[in-house]
Chains A and B, each alone.
Chain A
Amino acid sequence: MKHACRQATKLASDGLDRRLSAWELLRLRYHLLLCGHCRSCAESMQIIHKTTELIRNSQYENIKLSEAQRQHLREELEKAAGC
């Protein structure tokens, strides 16, 4: 089981980005069952993942063009497109 923890954390991280194969999932679950350190690590990566998801969904919710930006864009469009 050389590099076991390193590889287990890689699989746990990959699992946040892509679907793991059945074999990968089995290997990961087996390792996590036996290894509390990797379980802690996988849980904290999961917590970071979920927190960033919440931040992402609210981050720019209320942002709008400022009146100055809008005016500038209007003028640029007028210059370039003549309308």
Chain B
Amino acid sequence: MGEIVNPQQWLQEHGDYLYRYAMSRLHNEEIAADMLQETLLAAWKGHKNFKGDSTMRTWLVGILKHKIIDHIRKEIRGRDLNDAVEHDPTSAFFNADGSWNEAPRAWKENPEDLYQSDQFHGVLDSCITKLPEKQQMVFRMRELTGDDTETVCNACDITSTHLHVLLHRARLALRKCLEFNWFGKVKQP
């Protein structure tokens, strides 16, 4: 449809956009640039498949998205994350009859203020990093990248039921960690 088949031009026009997309999902400059390179090469090889019923950018993002999911899948397989050894925090937070062991505190903070605080970003990041690997991965994908449930399940090869169990665990552990490391230290107004 009058589109010029020229990877150099794709790089010129869509490079930054695609790179940003990859960074928001991979959080690693080197891997993001690699994925971008693979995407442009795959697009060049497969340009005949471009039907022109979407924009060139949408088509390129589609290819990049697949590359990223493949990458994450490989990484998960390589690390052989095992659920069985993952700690279930819900058992530590609740007693045998399912009520709280230790009462959670009421937070009064405003998300907008927390977001403005670089210190809070640091504490949040260190709390996320303390989560078991699989919880960390799904939490980051879901909440910091904004991937939808289907994409996360697909990349991590889990069911949505399992995803929700992992997110529940992650959120309870994060709440606890933040309460201890941030809300416990900050003076409430």
Q: Which residues of A contact B (CB under 8 A)?
A: 1-7, 9-10, 13-14, 16-18, 36-41, 43-45, 47-56, 58-60, 63-65, 69-70, 72-74, 76-78, 80-81, 83
Nearest-CB distance from B157 to chain A (Å)?
A: 18
Are B23 and A63 within 8 A (Cβ)? yes
Q: How far is the CA of A6 from the CA of B41 in the complex (A)?
A: 49
Nearest-CB distance from A77 to chain B (Å)?
A: 5
The number of residues on chain B lying at the interface, defined by a beta carbon within 8 Å of a beta carbon of chain A, is: 55
Query: Which residue of the partner chain B has the closest CB to A57?
Result: B146
Interface of B is mostly: helix
Nearest-CB distance from A61 to chain B (Å)?
A: 8
From B104, B114, B167, contact of A13 by CB (8 A): B167
Asked, given contacts A5-B98, A41-B175, A44-B107, whether A59 binds B44 with beta carbons under 8 Å apart, the answer is no
| 11 other A-B residue contacts (CB within 8 Å) besides A39-B106, A77-B41 | A1-B98, A17-B164, A36-B106, A37-B104, A45-B171, A50-B111, A53-B143, A60-B23, A70-B11, A74-B11, A77-B7
Nearest-CB distance from A18 to chain B (Å)?
A: 7
Q: How far is the CA of A41 from the CA of B142 in the complex (A)?
A: 20
Q: How far is the CA of A78 from the CA of B171 in the complex (A)?
A: 47
Are B19 and A64 within 8 A (Cβ)? yes
Are B33 and A40 within 8 A (Cβ)? no
Q: How far is the CA of A80 from the CA of B40 in the complex (A)?
A: 10
5 A-B pairs closest in CB distance: A3-B98, A50-B111, A54-B115, A13-B168, A52-B143
Are B164 and A37 within 8 A (Cβ)? no
Q: Quick one: which of B148-168 are within 8 Å of A by CB?
A: 149, 160, 163-165, 167-168
Nearest-CB distance from B86 to chain A (Å)?
A: 16
From A14, A47, A72, contact of B109 by CB (8 A): A47
Nearest-CB distance from B71 to chain A (Å)?
A: 17
From A43, A60, A80, A83, contact of B107 by CB (8 A): A43
Q: How far is the CA of A8 from the CA of B149 in the complex (A)?
A: 21
Asked, given contacts A13-B171, A53-B143, A74-B8, whether A7 binds B98 with beta carbons under 8 Å apart, the answer is yes
